[in-house]
Chains A and B, each alone.
Chain A
Amino acid sequence: MSQPGFFELAGFGADGWGHALLAGAWMTILVAIAGYAVGACIGTLGAWAKIAGNGFARAAADAYTTVLRGIPDLLVIYLFYFGGSAVVTAVGRLFGAEGFLGFPGFLAGSLAVGVTSGAQFTEVLRGGFKAVHPGEIEAAIACGMPRWLRLRRIVAPLTLRHALPGLGNVWQVVLKESALVSITGVAELLRQAQVGAGSTGLPFDFYLMAGAIYLMISTVSSLVLQQAERRLSRGLGRRG
């Protein structure tokens, strides 16, 4: 039997895995977006706690960022995947379900990615806030802006402007971290490559394809981020 060549494998023909890999790439992007969104929510809360929280909130946020930045992401994924299954099984038993119930891999993966990236978000947003000139906030207070309006019109946009390069880094990290979600069986890019490698016996070709697709996604997203940075720093005389 003649083995199909690299481009036949990567293509969309009879021997091609193009569709499967494309679907996997789409799933990778979904996992990354979901994880990024969860991380953004946690990070906003964390940054708020570190900047304006009381002693307890600050200590909790400190503990969270220290722990999550010091332990491997893989461990967090195991925690959510296996821990989530244990919780779901226990809850299922309460309602009379028999045996083991699995925790959905997508949910476990994006929660795990979100919780780990949330720690980075916290620090990036805190740094962004620190770069906001106090005069701008003072001016807003002097104009009589209430808290929420101040946050929406002054603090949040200025913080984001300073935090954007850091947020771009977090996105790149999340994108690569999403590959770890493959261990929970979610059919994302790396998982599809594993399936392809297993069924054709050509692991090198498939992992090379997966790597190339990751490179493409991260290149496109860094171009988008550059564009966003340029837009947000209009009027600063900075050239991105």
Chain B
Amino acid sequence: MDWQFLNETFVSLVAAIPLTIELAVTSICLGAILALLLALARLSGVAALDWFARLYVFIFRGTPLLVQIFLIYYGLGQFPAVRHSVFWPFLRDPYWCAVLALTLNTAAYASEIIRGGLLSVPHGQIEAARACGMHRFLMFRRIVLPLAIRQALPAYGNEMISMVKATSLASIITLMEVTGVAAKIISETYRAIEVFVVSGAIYLALNFLLTRLIQFAEYRLSPHLRAPVPGSRESSTMATPAGEHR
């Protein structure tokens, strides 16, 4: 084992971690907003919105992410109208192209997950909220969305992990995130296995942290599934309603 080489590789790969995280976080957050809108469009009952969302999901799930990245990064520049528009400073920058492609891509997958979550909210809970006199928006914010998130979180966690992995494709349009740096070191030294081990360990660590965060969120969002702690105030005040046992 060449520890010195491993060490040098590690140091240069660690420097690239912030960019990987930035890409993942930005596109997951933007993607979640877009996904919620798409899921609402699917469930809106308006035929045009419904079909638009279906078509969107079909296209973005049916084509490789790399094709989407190329289409945005290389493809859009083909049109003079785009090159002269206000968006050009963003669209000529590989970072924003990668974020845009990752966002559009994750939104398609996430919208189906969120739709499943929204559909899983028990009808009785919505009725109860209505009976309490909640308005549509308040009910959505207080009842429907939290319950939907709780239901969708395990699947959404998988999607977040695949987004962390998907950021690696940004290296193909010259961004120097972890995979980009790894590829550069490999092509300079031809020591693929060592570099692979180090960069793989970094991705594993990132995804491990992410799964712990998701588990924590799941724990916080499901107090009704926890065994009540004897004598604690919370368990006596938040007694589970009879209908909520699973």
Interface set of A (CB-CB < 8 Å, partner B): 66-67, 69-76, 78-79, 81-83, 85-86, 176-180, 182-183, 190, 193-194, 197, 201-205, 207-208, 210-211, 214-215, 218-219
Hey, which chain A residues are within 8 Å of B19, CB to CB?
none
Q: How far is the CB of A91 from chain B (nearest CB, A)?
A: 14
Task: Name the contact of B192 in the complex, choosing from A66, A83, A207 (C-beta under 8 A).
Answer: A83
A86-B207 contact given A78-B183, A203-B70, CB 8 Å threshold: no
A79 B64 Cβ-Cβ under 8 A: no
B62 A214 Cβ-Cβ under 8 A: yes
A72 B203 Cβ-Cβ under 8 A: yes
B70 A85 Cβ-Cβ under 8 A: no
Binds A, one of B112-120, B130-138, B167-175: B167-175
Binds A, one of B74-82, B225-233, B234-242: B74-82
A83 B203 Cβ-Cβ under 8 A: no
Hey, which chain A residues are within 8 Å of B221, CB to CB?
none
B67 A71 Cβ-Cβ under 8 A: no
A182 to chain B: closest residue by CB: B66
| Separation of A182 and B64 alpha carbons in the complex (Å) | 12
A214-B187 contact given A73-B165, A79-B192, CB 8 Å threshold: no
A70-B204 contact given A78-B182, A180-B66, A214-B67, CB 8 Å threshold: yes
B190 A86 Cβ-Cβ under 8 A: yes
Hey, which chain A residues are within 8 Å of B62, CB to CB?
214-215, 218-219
Top-6 shortest CB links A-B: A72-B168, A204-B75, A83-B192, A179-B64, A203-B74, A82-B192
How many A-B contacts at CB < 8 Å in the complex? 120
- Give 7 pairs: A residue, B residue, CB < 8 Å, sorted on A: A70-B165, A72-B203, A74-B168, A79-B196, A82-B190, A183-B172, A214-B67
Interface residues on B, range: 35 or more
B161 A70 Cβ-Cβ under 8 A: yes
B188-237 residues at the A interface, CB under 8 angstroms? 190-193, 196, 199-200, 203-204, 207-208
B205 to chain A: closest residue by CB: A70
| Separation of A215 and B68 alpha carbons in the complex (Å) | 12
B66 A190 Cβ-Cβ under 8 A: yes
Q: How far is the CB of A130 from chain B (nearest CB, A)?
A: 18
Hey, which chain B residues are within 8 Å of A190, CB to CB?
64, 66-67, 70
B75 to chain A: closest residue by CB: A204
Instruction: Tell me, yes or no, whether B166 is within 8 Å of chain A by CB.
Output: yes
Hey, which chain B residues are within 8 Å of A207, CB to CB?
67, 70-71, 74-75
Residue of A73, A82, A176, A179 ringed by the most chain B CB atoms within 10 A: A82
A203 B75 Cβ-Cβ under 8 A: yes
A211 B63 Cβ-Cβ under 8 A: yes
A71 B186 Cβ-Cβ under 8 A: no
B197 to chain A: closest residue by CB: A79
B76 A75 Cβ-Cβ under 8 A: no
A78 B200 Cβ-Cβ under 8 A: no
B192 A70 Cβ-Cβ under 8 A: no
A85 B190 Cβ-Cβ under 8 A: yes
| Separation of A69 and B230 alpha carbons in the complex (Å) | 40
Q: How far is the CB of B22 from chain A (nearest CB, A)?
A: 16
Task: Name the contact of A179 in the complex, choosing from B67, B196, B199, B204 (C-beta under 8 A).
Answer: B67
B79 A204 Cβ-Cβ under 8 A: yes
Q: How far is the CB of A59 from chain B (nearest CB, A)?
A: 16
| Separation of A70 and B199 alpha carbons in the complex (Å) | 11
Task: Name the contact of B186 in the complex, choosing from A76, A78, A205, A208 (C-beta under 8 A).
Answer: A78
A83-B196 contact given A78-B182, A215-B63, CB 8 Å threshold: yes
Hey, which chain B residues are within 8 Å of A71, CB to CB?
165, 199-200, 203-204
Q: How far is the CB of B109 from chain A (nearest CB, A)?
A: 12
Produce 1/0 per residue, B153-185, CB < 8 A to A. 000000001000111110110000001001100
A70 B207 Cβ-Cβ under 8 A: yes
| Separation of A218 and B58 alpha carbons in the complex (Å) | 10
| Separation of A58 and B215 alpha carbons in the complex (Å) | 24
Instruction: Tell me, yes or no, whether B40 is within 8 Å of chain A by CB.
Output: no
Residue of B64, B65, B167 ringed by the most chain A CB atoms within 10 A: B64
Q: How far is the CB of B17 from chain A (nearest CB, A)?
A: 14
Q: How far is the CB of B165 from chain A (nearest CB, A)?
A: 4
A208-B191 contact given A190-B67, A219-B62, CB 8 Å threshold: no
Hey, which chain A residues are within 8 Å of B165, CB to CB?
70-73
